[in-house]
Structure 1
Amino acid sequence: MRQNCSVAELLRSEMDKLTPTERKISRVLLANYPVAGLETIAQLAARVEVSGPTVLRLVSKLGFDSYTAFQAALRGELEARLQSPLVRREVGMAAEGTDFLADFVRRQTELMQQTVANVSQAEFDGAVELLADPKRRVWLLGGRLTEPLAAYLAHHLKVVRSQVTLLRPLPTSWADNLVDMGKHDVLVVFDIRRYWQDAQRMAEMAAQRKVQVVLFTDQWLSPVSRCARYTLAAHTAGPAGWDTNTPLLMLVDALIAAVNTRHWGDIHERLQELERMRAELGEGDESMRR
């Protein structure tokens, strides 16, 4: 089993190597993650309508030497999902006399490398194509700490395409937007531990209306993943106790770059017209910005 890799990431990365029956088990595990994996072998096998030995073969392929070890990993993730910064801080991190900034950057680099190693190319490419499709309206929603990331992505998308809306993080206002959503829309949700139940409900209701949901989350997977078409999970466990948004921002920047690179022909013409309009409106005059 790969180090620093969640069970969900293992299931996603190994999906193409599994037998049809094993993929069936994997999909059930991901759809009810991590609760389904905490059932007994007999219960999980009955739920998926497979044999117990088939469940054990899948667990072995994921790198666990027993079903007990597999469940222990899931329980550890469940505990990590609920941890507050009070218990996350790593003792001895950048102790006195060390270069805090250099150590911090090293850890951030490790998290970004772990993120890239565990993001499926198919998931990333699928998200890029959805957000680049001019026929689709795009809605974005972020939480208390991720709303700036949603806004950052929204601002970039508004430059290269039309019909982009940043939702306010106020559940009482969402119905006004949800009623207009349909099968040609995309809802981008940012949700990290400890997960936002209102965002989960919003995503579920959007999915019921055939909206394609794109999720940015952490390696423990927001419950929104159950209804997401594409999930981009970053390793966010920061060394100082607070989860870091740097790996998530890296994924956002990569997505923006991919949209621009792969659809430059369409975007180039729009940018030329946009720059002309900005010049006519005097946006190039620094005195007007003060």
Structure 2
Amino acid sequence: MTESVGVAGLVRERLGECSPSERRVGRALLAEYPSAGLETVASLAERAEVSAPTVLRFLSRLGFRGFPEFQRVLRAELAERQASPLAAYAAPEDGTAGPRSRAADVLPQAVAGTLGDLPEAELERAVRLLADRQLRITAAGGRFSTLLAQYLVFHLIQLRGNSRMLPAAPVERVDALVDVGRKDLFVLFDFRRYEQPTQQLARSVSERGARIILCTDRWLSPIAGLADVVLPSRVDSPSMYDSFVPALALLEVLVAGVVDKLGPAAQERLAAVEAVSQPYL
């Protein structure tokens, strides 16, 4: 289970099965993930304001045979989270399949795994938020994942409006953030070797009441502890770089969901956009 969704993903999946005191352990772990899990049992219990036996019962519910096993899995996951493309890459041996064959083998499985692992409740909540035209949507990502944010925003501009990328220029960025509040929804993209600016942005807008949809990998960005919705994707790749193909498939699902949710309103909006665009084409 942890191999497909990671420890944090497993915690999120199982919270609904837990007692109130066990849920406090899970939330304390997610709030400071993964560092809270690398402390002692007593320290984690203190964070969650529960007893040490409650911590151990919670870990047992997750399938761990004890705190040492939990920490071994967590440390191994942390090493994967921090791996650079060069460190993570295993070069194909001589005579093995070329890049096209590797891609044909790896990418369909990664897409199918991503879509199959998505919690239905999280997906439905994400679509509901994205289709709520009372919310102003702002998307942001990192060095590479900004491309995913732009892809989503270009669709949302056509389908519902009131959607934008977070500007890069400092003055424009301040203008975009100064009035953030409960009517704002941020869609953040943060993948392993997680980026501090994106995490700082998440903390800032969360403190001011904005909601967050997080698109991340199976190890889960630290933003997961702040997000209202967490949508993990696999990153299996035929090269040394993590693949965004599964994440792009996830965005296609979200766009299709928004189209279905908005119904005729999406078609009317798209028709209006096309009519205004004609003189500039």
Amino acid at match of 1:127: A
Amino acid at match of 1:52: A
Contact 1:219 1:233 in 2 (8 A): yes
1: CA distance between counterparts of 2:134 and 2:179? 15
CA RMSD of aligned residues (A): 2.0
**Structure 2: where are the runs of 5+ without partners?**
none
Name the SS for the 2:5 alignment partner: coil
Contact 1:142 1:169 in 2 (8 A): no
2: CA distance between counterparts of 1:14 and 1:36? 18
Contact 1:90 1:239 in 2 (8 A): no
Contact 1:139 1:164 in 2 (8 A): yes
CA displacement, residues 44-70 of structure 1 (integer Å, 9 cap, x when unaligned)? 122212222222222122122221111
* 2:233 is the counterpart of 1:234: yes
CA displacement, residues 94-143 of structure 1 (integer Å, 9 cap, x when unaligned)? x5242532332221222223323432222221111111111111111121
- Per the alignment, residue 211 of structure 1 pairs with 210
Return the offset for 1:265.
2.4
- Per the alignment, residue 58 of structure 2 pairs with 58
**Structure 1: where are the runs of 5+ without partners?**
284-290
- Per the alignment, residue 79 of structure 1 pairs with 79
Contact 2:106 2:236 in 1 (8 A): no
Return the offset for 1:15.
1.8
Contact 2:128 2:261 in 1 (8 A): no
Does the C-alpha gap of structure 1 residues 135 and 79 become closer, same or farther in structure 2, counting only changes over 3 Å?
A: same
Amino acid at match of 1:275: E
Return the offset for 1:173.
4.6
* 2:18 is the counterpart of 1:18: yes
Q: How does 1:151-190 map to 2 (within 5 A)?
A: 151-169=150-168, 173-190=172-189
Contact 1:13 1:118 in 2 (8 A): no
* 2:221 is the counterpart of 1:222: yes
Instruction: State the TM-score, normalized to the length of structure 1.
Output: 0.89
* 2:251 is the counterpart of 1:252: yes
Which 10-residue stretch deviates more, 261-270 or 188-197?
261-270
Amino acid at match of 2:212: V
Return the offset for 1:160.
0.7
Q: How does 1:2-151 map to 2 (within 5 A)?
A: 2-92=2-92, 95-151=94-150
Does the C-alpha gap of structure 1 residues 282 and 203 become closer, same or farther in structure 2, counting only changes over 3 Å?
A: closer
Which 10-residue stretch deviates more, 253-262 or 200-209?
200-209
Return the offset for 1:209.
1.6
Does the C-alpha gap of structure 1 residues 97 and 40 become closer, same or farther in structure 2, counting only changes over 3 Å?
A: closer
Contact 1:143 1:169 in 2 (8 A): no
1: CA distance between counterparts of 2:199 and 2:2? 29
CA displacement, residues 170-224 of structure 1 (integer Å, 9 cap, x when unaligned)? 5675222110222101111111121111111112111122111111111121122
Name the SS for the 2:144 alignment partner: coil
Does the C-alpha gap of structure 1 residues 171 and 65 become closer, same or farther in structure 2, counting only changes over 3 Å?
A: farther
Name the SS for the 2:64 alignment partner: coil
2: CA distance between counterparts of 1:69 and 1:117? 27
Contact 1:140 1:189 in 2 (8 A): yes
Amino acid at match of 1:38: L
1: CA distance between counterparts of 2:197 and 2:38? 25
Contact 1:171 1:198 in 2 (8 A): no
Amino acid at match of 1:83: A
Does the C-alpha gap of structure 1 residues 276 and 65 become closer, same or farther in structure 2, counting only changes over 3 Å?
A: same
1: CA distance between counterparts of 2:60 and 2:120? 24
2: CA distance between counterparts of 1:180 and 1:130? 19
Amino acid at match of 1:79: A
Amino acid at match of 1:56: L
Amino acid at match of 1:47: R
Contact 1:141 1:169 in 2 (8 A): no
CA displacement, residues 10-39 of structure 1 (integer Å, 9 cap, x when unaligned)? 111122222222212111111111111111
